[in-house]
């Protein structure tokens, strides 16, 4: 059986690792993270991202609106108009919201969910088999003495 400090240490390790993965995914310069990228469904081509930045997507002289496809990370990295739509705070808030919902946490982060459950049960002396047996004996002998 692990001690509470070992469980807390493992929780901190997993929490930090998963949060760093989230930061890497949502704060990098990629087309999914650009404020100006909007994904549209294009017939027979699936879903394609297009840049809606005013300097890139513009209206031609004849009134035609021109969109530039931005559907891969290389294009986004080279773009001078890229603005990340996420912040560290928004990523952290979303991560904490996922952890607070037990079903969401269990689905996305099963190891963290188990550790959270275990840590929530730690103060309860009846959480361990020995604690349950001791509580049962206390109730049993407490009733006989009274």
Residues 73, 108: one domain? Answer: no
109 and 132 both lie in a single domain: yes
Do 22 and 92 lie in a common domain? yes
The answer to whether residue 144 is domain-embedded is no
Predicted pLDDT of residue 134: 57
Mean pLDDT by 10 residues, the chain (146 residues): 81 94 95 91 86 80 77 90 95 92 92 86 54 57 47
Whether residues 19 and 65 fall in one domain: no
Is 90 among the domain residues? yes
Tokens of 69: 């496809």
Q: Is residue 5 part of a domain?
A: yes
Together in a domain, 34 and 72: yes
- Out of 43, 64, 85, a domain closes at 85
Domain ranges, residue 5: 1-27+86-139
CB-CB contact of 115 with 14 (8 Å):
yes
If asked whether residues 73 and 117 sit together in one domain, one would say: no
Return the closest-CA partner of residue 38 out of 61, 64, 56, 63. 56
Q: Are residues 44 and 71 in the same domain?
A: yes
Residues 103 and 126 in one domain: yes
Residue 89 is predicted with a pLDDT of: 95
Beta pairing, strands 46-51 & 58-59: unpaired
Residues 17, 7, single domain; the answer is yes
Query: Which pLDDT value is given to residue 46?
Result: 86
Is residue 146 included in any domain, yes or no? no
Q: What is the DSSP string of the chain?
A: ---HHHHHHHHHHHHHHHHHHHHHHHSSS-GGGBTTEEEEEETTTEEEEEE--TTTSEE-TTSPEE-EE--SHHHHHH-TT--BS--HHHHHHHHHHHHHSHHHHHHH-HHHHHHHHHHHHTT-GGGSHHHHHHHHHHHHHHHHH-
pLDDT at res. 139: 61
Q: Looking at the 3D structure of the chain, how many domains does it have?
A: 2
Whether residue 76 is found in the same domain as residue 98: no
């Amino acid at each position: 059986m692990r001690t509470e400090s070992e469980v807390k240490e493992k929780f901190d390790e997993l929490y930090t690792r998963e949060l760093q993965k989230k930061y890497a995914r949502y704060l990098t310069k990629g087309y999914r993270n650009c404020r100006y990228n909007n994904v549209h469904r294009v017939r027979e081509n699936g879903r394609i991202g297009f840049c809606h930045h005013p300097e890139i997507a513009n209206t031609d002289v004849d009134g035609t609106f021109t969109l530039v496809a931005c559907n891969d990370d290389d294009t986004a990295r080279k773009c001078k108009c890229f603005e990340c739509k996420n912040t560290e705070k928004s990523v952290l808030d979303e991560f904490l919201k996922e952890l607070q919902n037990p079903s969401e946490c269990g689905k996305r982060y099963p190891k963290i969910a188990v550790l959270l459950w275990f840590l929530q049960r730690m103060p309860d002396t009846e959480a361990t088999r020995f604690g349950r047996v001791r509580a049962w004996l206390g109730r049993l002998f407490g009733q006989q003495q009274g």
